[in-house]
Every structure is written in C-alpha cells, then in structure tokens.
Amino acid sequence: MEWNKPRLIELPRIYDPRGSLSFAQDNAQIPFEINRVFWIYDVPGGESRGSHSHKKAHQLIVATGGSFDVTLHDGTKSATFTLNRPFVGLYIPPGHWLTLENFASGSVCMVLDSTLFSEDDYIRDFDEFLEWNRVHDRIPTLP
C-alpha cells in the first residue's frame, strides 16, 4: 500500500449489543507511531479549522461524532472527503494543505498525529506551502 497518498482507512469495528468499539494501533491500521492525540469540538456554524500543512507530521482524522468535510490540496489538485462515521479515518501524509469545514452541530474531530506539537512543522501560508512543495519536488498525490 502506498502510504505517501491520502486515503480513507476503515478501522476495526467490534459490535456489541451494549455499543460498538473501534480502535487504531500503531502500524496495524495506520502507518505511523501515535505521539499525540487531540480533538476539535464546539466549532461554531460556518467556521473552518486547519488551513495549514505539515512538513513532517502524518495524521489520521476521524469524525468521532457528527460530520465535517476535509479538503486537501497537494500543490496541484484538491479533493474533499466527508467524514461522518467513527470507524473511518482519513490518513494524511505530510505535504498536504488541509482545511476542515462544514461542521455539523455537535461534531467532534479526533486527530491521531505522528509528532509532538512543534510550530516549526506547520506551514500556515498557502503560497509558502506551494513553494515548499516545489522546492521539495513533491509529486501530486490526489486523483
């Protein structure tokens, strides 16, 4: 499997009459060691999150509640993924601009991250992102 390309990953589901359970473990379902987990919630209607890229971080984004869209840009093309199932995550390798938007009321966005927080890993200006991809000779990864 090519882990340099974004993709939806279906996570294991354990069904139980008392409620279902899903999980992700390092290198079993996802191609990186988890070093940080964070979640985004209480996003006001019409607001967006993200609008940045990572130089090194690999991420898996999961809608643990509700739904939202993730738009990715690889420097050439863009694609939008709707996340709305707690057992499906969007894997995002480094070098992709991401924006999270269209949050349904009560949505929770959980992010599994390969790195500890470092401001140096972020690119927060889109033109700088395009230049970074050009300098690093990045090959487009979106269909």
Helix (H, G, I), strand (E, B) or coil at 25: coil
- Give backbone dihedrals phi and psi of 128, rounded to 5 degrees, phi first: -65, -40
What tokens were used for 22? 């899903």
The one catalytic residue in 52, 54, 73, 136 is 52
Amino acid at 51: S
Round to whole Å and give the CA distance between 22 and 12: 5
Question: Checking DSSP bridges between strand 36-41 and strand 122-123, what pairing results, if any?
Answer: unpaired
In the annotation, is 73 catalytic?
no
Annotated catalytic residues are 52
